């Protein structure tokens, strides 16, 4: 059972917009800790996608955006492309557990 | 370019030990805290351990506490994970990962990942 809760799967057609939710609690998001998102393509290592709630590293398309409010966060992907098909993970820090925590991951399928 | 390359994975029997290494290049190694993160087959990411930039502080997941140790050799730009008393449930791909540098402690994230090394614990 992950500390951060994500839906196991989402799907969308090419060109559509999808969102992936990440629900935390008062010990992580509610305590002011930021959310970060990683993309893991099949057979590859994770890659930083969004950091500090809303920021994109250099090279990440602006089709990817993040937000956080209260104890919830979300990743939005607009203009879906087949190459976006991957697993997506949210991550934060939990002050109660005193450690880095990940969501369980969400598999995005591009129909 | 910035790179982390893990090695040392393999097949090991339950109860035995294994030592993983991570060779870093392309950045000032001694400035960064470093993590180990693992991924069991078909499962999500699980944080394992972190060591501070100066090596003075280490933290571990409850699942490995007392069995795993993390260390660094700044002279060799190398991070290590000593895994003792291995269990079947330790089977996973182990990733070495660099923690971002930021003055905002509420915003630590992983900005660089290695490709991982596979550990299989099986009799």
pLDDT in tens, B33-77: 999 999 999 999 999 999 999 999 999 999 999 999 999 999 999
| Chain mean pLDDT for chain A | 96
Contact between A47 and B46 using a beta-carbon 8 Å cutoff:
no
Residue B72: φ, ψ to 5°: -140, 150
Tell me the sheet residues that pair with A65. Answer: A76
Average pLDDT over residues A46-71: 96
Contact between B106 and A91 using a beta-carbon 8 Å cutoff:
no
* Burial class of residue B2 in the structure, from the number of CB atoms within 10 Å of its CB (0-12 exposed, 13-18 middle, 19+ buried): exposed
Contact between B104 and A52 using a beta-carbon 8 Å cutoff:
yes
Contacts of B59 in chain A (CB under 8 A): 98-99
CA distance A58 to B91: 34
Contact indicator for A45, A38 with CB cutoff of 8 Å: no
pLDDT score, position A28: 95
Specify the residue for token string 């079947």.
B88
Contacts of B112 in chain A (CB under 8 A): 48
Q: Over 80: is that where the pLDDT of A72 sits?
A: yes
Specify the residue for token string 């969308």.
A12
CA distances from B90 to A38, B40, B57, B98, B117 (A): 23, 8, 23, 21, 13
């Amino acid at each position: 059972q992950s500390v951060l809760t994500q839906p196991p799967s989402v799907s969308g057609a090419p060109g559509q917009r999808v969102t992936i939710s990440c629900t935390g609690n008062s010990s992580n998001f509610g305590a002011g800790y930021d959310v970060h998102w990683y993309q893991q393509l099949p057979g590859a290592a994770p890659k930083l996608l969004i950091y500090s709630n809303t920021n994109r590293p250099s090279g990440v398309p602006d089709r990817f955006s993040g937000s956080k409010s209260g104890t919830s966060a979300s990743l939005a992907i607009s203009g879906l492309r087949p190459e976006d098909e991957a697993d997506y993970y949210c991550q934060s820090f939990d002050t109660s557990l005193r450690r880095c925590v990940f969501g369980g991951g969400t598999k995005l399928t591009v129909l | 370019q910035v790179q982390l390359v893990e090695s040392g994975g393999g097949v090991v029997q339950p109860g035995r030990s294994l030592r993983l290494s991570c060779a870093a290049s392309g950045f000032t190694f001694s400035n960064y805290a470093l993590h180990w993160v693992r991924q069991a087959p078909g499962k999500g990411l699980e944080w394992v351990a972190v060591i501070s930039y100066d090596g003075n502080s280490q933290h571990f997941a409850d699942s490995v506490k007392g069995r795993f140790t993390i260390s660094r050799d700044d002279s060799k730009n190398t991070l290590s994970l000593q895994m003792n008393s291995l269990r079947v449930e330790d089977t996973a791909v182990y990733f070495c990962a660099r923690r971002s540098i930021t003055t905002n402690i509420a915003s630590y994230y992983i900005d660089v990942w290695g490709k991982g090394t596979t550990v299989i614990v099986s009799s």
